[in-house]
């Protein structure tokens, strides 16, 4: 099946050998837990608890507030200390529920109750996923229950499990495939119940032969070959990017204006599929994340299953602390992660890794001048012209940036990685995309306000006309008023 690869991409240092043999270990938090109400794409959740309230593990503390929104779940039992604004690893400031952990982990009613999927309707499956607060756990954070309702279930040909894990250093999904492959495939079977015509595809990069072997063995053991298969991908970054993955497997192309459903696909990360299975089959909401803590600045790198809301500082201590004062700490992978100034931020639903490096490989590099070598063009998986886009950004020419299809960029970092001049290409594109998005939002708001003003003026005219007509008939008694109102 599929093409096995895509045009462009790069081959950075993998760094996975540090933790790929480290089994997932459980870590229980020691301090307060912080639950941002905005840790997903879409509208922030609405707090349904207040300071002083007692909460239980698995209880909804933030309720989805809009079509594209999702629940926030307490991962511990305890008492709500306060609701205040806190910073996330992304730099976003979000209203957050702070819970004092009683360390008893008392479950909310109904949590952990097993269900038979055969007796569930599609709507019940989607509702279970929504109630569990599941989002895309590969980093995007799009509410999964929205993704699983494409409108026409029969138009979906493929349900793709994104098990590429192409980001360097990360091994959480790899360990999940080795340690809990049955649960992943159980989650996939739940998803396939929503899309009767779809084929399940588990997409794994070729540098994970043990995971490929394990998943194939379970497919054969469970006699699932009619509904699921493994697609081995060429090892290349960013193989796991959604558009690349869909093209690699199906040959169908997407741009930023389209969704995977437009190509007949539903794409979910490995941990997301695992979470769907846990939510629907076992009644367990999203309360945990597998975090890879690694890098040459960490004493005991490993993979940890942690409670959402846990402080990153605690994970550093759990991994043995720093080997030396690090120059670089990154939340996420080295290609698309966010540098941290302090580790005092919470683990959220979209957290995946914490990288600690004794030396910052880019801090002491001075950018040069573009030599027009074209390496960025060759590396770009979106087939863009990064050197031209960078010039547009340099001169704050957002119109040109858009004409160069700059909004198609998904900031994978490949161009920056190969640039011999060490130009901050991706950072420039990220800022330009944010500025364009802000412009478009303001334009929509302006149009909306203009329409409201026009509607208001029209209502005033109608009211004035109605008043005038009423005045004409005012001398005719009740009959005159009835005629005016009927007009």
C-alpha 434/C-alpha 440 separation (Å) is: 10
Q: Residue 147 has which token pair?
A: 């993704």
Tally of CA atoms within 13 A in the half-sphere of 135 that contains its CB:
29
Strands 46-47 and 33-36: unpaired
**What DSSP designation does 143 have?**
B
Alpha-carbon gap, residue 75 to 287, rounded angstroms: 5
β 288-294/54-55 pair status: unpaired
* Beta carbons within 10 angstroms of residue 90's beta carbon: 18
Residues belonging to the chain: 487
- Model pLDDT, residue 362: 82
- Whole-number Å distance between alpha carbons of 308 and 289: 6
pLDDT at 472: 37
Instruction: Identify the pLDDT of residue 461.
Output: 59
Rounded CA separation 216/206 (Å): 14
pLDDT of residue 468: 47
Residues 6+ apart with CB under 8 A from 444: none
pTM, 2 dp: 0.88
Ranges of each domain in the chain:
16-288, 434-486
Q: What is the pLDDT of residue 262?
A: 95
Closest CA to 117 of 187, 41, 221: 187
Other CB atoms within 10 Å distance of the CB of residue 70: 32
Alpha carbon of 327 to those of 142, 177, 346, 359: distances in Å? 32, 33, 21, 5
Q: What is the largest CA-CA distance in the chain?
A: 94
Per-residue confidence (pLDDT) for residue 2, from 0 to 100: 52
418 touches 376 (CB < 8 A): yes
Instruction: Write out the chain's pLDDT in tens, 487 residues.
Output: 555 678 899 999 999 999 999 999 999 999 999 999 999 999 999 999 999 999 999 999 999 998 999 999 999 999 999 999 999 998 889 999 999 999 999 999 999 999 998 889 999 999 999 999 999 998 889 999 999 999 999 999 999 999 999 999 999 999 999 999 999 999 999 999 999 999 999 999 999 999 999 999 999 999 999 999 999 999 999 999 999 999 999 999 999 889 999 999 999 999 999 999 999 999 999 999 999 999 999 999 999 999 999 999 999 999 999 999 999 999 999 999 999 988 899 999 999 999 999 999 887 788 999 999 999 999 999 999 999 999 999 999 999 999 999 999 999 999 999 999 999 999 999 999 999 999 998 988 876 666 666 666 666 656 555 444 444 333 333 333 232 333 2
Please give the CATH number for the structural domain made up of 16-288. Answer: 3.40.50.11540
On whether the CB atoms of residues 202 and 269 are closer than 8 A, the answer is: no
In contact, 38 and 23? CB cutoff 8 Å: no
Q: What angle do CA 236, 241, 243 make, to 5 degrees?
A: 115
DSSP reduced 3-state for 127: helix
């Amino acid at each position: 099946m599929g093409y096995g690869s895509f045009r462009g991409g790069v081959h950075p240092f993998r760094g996975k050998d540090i933790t790929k043999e480290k089994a997932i270990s459980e870590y229980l938090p020691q301090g307060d837990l912080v639950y941002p109400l905005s840790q997903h794409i879409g509208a922030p959740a609405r707090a349904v608890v207040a300071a002083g309230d007692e909460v239980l593990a698995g209880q909804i503390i933030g309720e989805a507030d809009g079509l594209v929104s999702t629940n926030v779940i307490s991962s511990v039992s305890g008492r709500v200390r306060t609701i205040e604004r806190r910073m996330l690893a992304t730099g976003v400031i979000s209203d957050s529920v702070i819970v004092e952990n009683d360390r008893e982990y008392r479950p909310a009613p109904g949590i952990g109750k097993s269900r038979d999927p055969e007796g569930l309707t599609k709507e019940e499956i989607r509702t279970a996923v929504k109630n569990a607060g599941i989002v895309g756990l590969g980093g995007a954070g799009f509410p999964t229950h929205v993704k699983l309702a494409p409108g026409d279930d029969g138009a979906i040909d493929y349900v793709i499990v994104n098990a590429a894990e192409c980001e360097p250093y990360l091994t959480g999904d790899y360990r999940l495939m080795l340690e809990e492959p049955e649960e992943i495939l159980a989650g996939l079977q739940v998803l396939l119940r929503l899309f009767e015509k779809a084929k399940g595809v588990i997409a794994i990069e070729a540098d994970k032969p043990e995971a490929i072997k394990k998943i194939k063995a379970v497919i054969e053991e469970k006699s699932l070959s009619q509904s699921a298969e493994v697609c081995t991908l060429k090892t290349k970054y960013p193989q796991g990017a959604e558009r690349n993955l869909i093209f690699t497997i199906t040959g169908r192309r997407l741009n930023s204006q389209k969704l995977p459903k437009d190509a007949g696909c539903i794409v979910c990360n490995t941990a997301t599929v695992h979470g769907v299975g846990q939510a629907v089959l076992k009644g367990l909401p999203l309360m945990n994340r597998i975090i890879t803590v690694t890098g040459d600045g960490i004493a005991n790198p490993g993979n940890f299953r942690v409670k959402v809301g846990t402080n990153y500082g605690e994970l550093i201590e759990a991994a043995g602390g720093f080997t030396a004062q690090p120059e670089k700490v990154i939340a996420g992978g080295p290609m698309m992660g966010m540098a941290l100034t302090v580790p005092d931020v919470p683990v959220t639903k979209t957290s995946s890794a914490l990288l600690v490096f004794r030396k910052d490989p880019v801090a002491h590099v001075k950018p040069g001048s573009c030599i027009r070598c074209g390496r960025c063009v060759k590396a770009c998986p979106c087939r863009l012209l990064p050197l031209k886009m960078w010039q547009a950004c340099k001169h704050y020419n957002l119109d040109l940036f858009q004409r160069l299809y700059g909004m198609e960029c998904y900031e994978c970092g490949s161009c920056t990685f190969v640039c011999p001049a060490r130009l901050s290409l991706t950072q420039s594109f990220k800022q330009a995309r944010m500025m364009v998005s802000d412009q478009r939002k303001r334009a929509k708001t302006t149009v909306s306000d203009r329409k409201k003003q026009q509607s208001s003026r029209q209502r005033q005219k109608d009211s004035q006309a109605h008043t005038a007509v009423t005045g004409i008939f005012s001398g005719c008694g009740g009959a005159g008023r009835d005629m005016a109102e009927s007009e």
